[in-house]
């Protein structure tokens, strides 16, 4: 299939057509959508949202039933660029972008600072790490989502281009995430940011980085995040939790995908029990940043996200667990498709706004 180029901005006619078909599909009457999606899916007392089921059905008709393509990082990245173009909608509100250069011990990485119109100066900041199994994704591909969150949460968002596996396996992405947070704290004034309200967050693999970072800095003398926002995070690379068994196939992110991503990020030489890889196995303390953990009912990673929220709570941390029982992994990226996904994204933005407005 012809792919759009992230470098040239060229999009094939076939890809443009697929985008129109997908978006028009969600505007059909409910009865028609049900016929396309098939009978309702119910597992363990949960019912999959019709729009989530429709997305899965339309993706299958377009030949997409998992994320990894040909066991190839390059082919997977190209396919995901196409998927992101197809899913993207119009930008919400007015958000200005500024490129930020961040020095790390291994060289320079880049980030984009999103500032919504009317944002106070100084404001809270969310340092955001994109998802993508530590293998794909970028600040450019995630820009629709991070701008959406900046606008609707009313806070600045720093979207970070951390290095990707397998070219840069663990601990490179973790080290980049930590460097980005430290940079934001050290340069808070010039970023227009309140240094006491710098949070970290991310979705999926990015949620893993945010959780691991928050845990790793709890006992150090340096700055610590004010909050952590973990959206359907990966928290345990040492074993398969029950939701990976029950939801192994049929919901876009598959169990095989998860195993492949983990192998790219944490090859055989890595100790997967290291809390920087598996924060669920770490020693959480009451001093860790307050956590908002969102999980999806039809996500293979659901159980480890819930387990991490429970572990934080048992350690005495402040935790909000938000269950989107009718949705699938990656739902934030689908906000432009239909009201159900948009409602979930708006709920997320409101959680960011509410938690960061508390200032503690």
Active site residues per annotation: 204, 299, 329
Say if CB 281 and CB 311 are below 8 A apart.
no
Taking Cα atoms as reference points, which of 326, 360, 356, 337 lies closest to residue 84? 337
Please name the residue that has the structure tokens 């402040």. Answer: 318
> In angstroms, rounded to a whole number, what is the distance separating the alpha carbons of residues 140 and 124?
22
| 3-class secondary structure per residue, 168-236 | CCCCHHHHHHHHHHHHHHHCHHHHCEEEEEEEEEEECHHHHHHHHHHHHCCCCCCCCCCCEEEECCCCC
Say if CB 172 and CB 302 are below 8 A apart.
no
Taking Cα atoms as reference points, which of 125, 120, 87, 117 lies closest to residue 252? 87
| Bridge partner list, 324 | 296
Say if CB 23 and CB 337 are below 8 A apart.
yes
Taking Cα atoms as reference points, which of 320, 317, 343 lies closest to residue 332? 343
First vs last C-alpha separation in the chain: 49
306 secondary structure, DSSP code: H
Say if CB 210 and CB 204 are below 8 A apart.
no
Taking Cα atoms as reference points, which of 164, 159, 163, 2 lies closest to residue 78? 2
3-class SS of residue 143: helix
């Amino acid at each position: 299939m012809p792919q759009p180029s992230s470098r040239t901005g060229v999009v094939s006619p076939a890809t443009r057509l697929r985008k129109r078909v997908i978006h028009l599909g969600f505007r059909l009457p409910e009865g028609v959508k049900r016929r396309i999606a098939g009978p309702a899916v119910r597992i363990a007392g949960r019912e999959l949202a019709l729009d989530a089921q429709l997305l899965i059905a339309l993706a299958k008709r377009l030949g997409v039933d998992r994320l990894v393509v040909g066991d190839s990082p390059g082919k997977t990245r190209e396919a995901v660029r196409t998927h992101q173009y197809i899913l993207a909608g119009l930008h919400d509100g007015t958000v200005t972008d500024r490129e930020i250069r961040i020095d790390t011990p291994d060289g320079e990485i880049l980030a984009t600072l999103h500032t919504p119109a009317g944002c106070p100066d100084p404001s809270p900041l969310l340092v955001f790490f994109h998802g993508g199994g530590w293998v794909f994704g970028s600040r450019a591909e995630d820009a629709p989502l991070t701008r959406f969150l900046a606008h609707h949460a009313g806070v600045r968002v720093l979207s970070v281009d951390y290095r990707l596996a397998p070219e840069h396996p663990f601990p490179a992405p973790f080290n980049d995430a930590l460097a980005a947070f430290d940079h934001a704290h050290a340069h808070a004034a010039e970023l227009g940011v309140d240094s006491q309200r710098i949070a970290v967050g991310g979705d999926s693999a990015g949620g893993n980085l945010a959780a691991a970072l928050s845990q790793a800095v709890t006992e150090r003398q340096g700055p610590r995040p004010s909050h952590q926002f973990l959206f359907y995070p990966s928290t345990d690379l040492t074993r398969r939790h029950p939701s990976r068994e029950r939801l192994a196939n049929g919901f876009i992110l598959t169990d095989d995908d998860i195993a492949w991503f983990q192998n790219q990020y944490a090859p055989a030489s890595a100790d997967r029990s290291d809390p920087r890889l598996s924060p669920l196995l770490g020693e959480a303390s009451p001093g860790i940043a307050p956590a908002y953990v969102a999980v999806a009912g039809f996500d293979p990673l659901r159980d480890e996200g819930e387990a991490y929220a429970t572990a934080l709570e048992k350690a005495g941390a402040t935790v909000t667990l938000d269950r989107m029982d009718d949705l699938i992994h990656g739902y934030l990226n689908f906000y432009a498709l239909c009201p159900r996904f948009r409602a979930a994204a708006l709920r997320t933005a409101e959680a960011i706004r509410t938690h960061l407005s508390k200032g503690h």
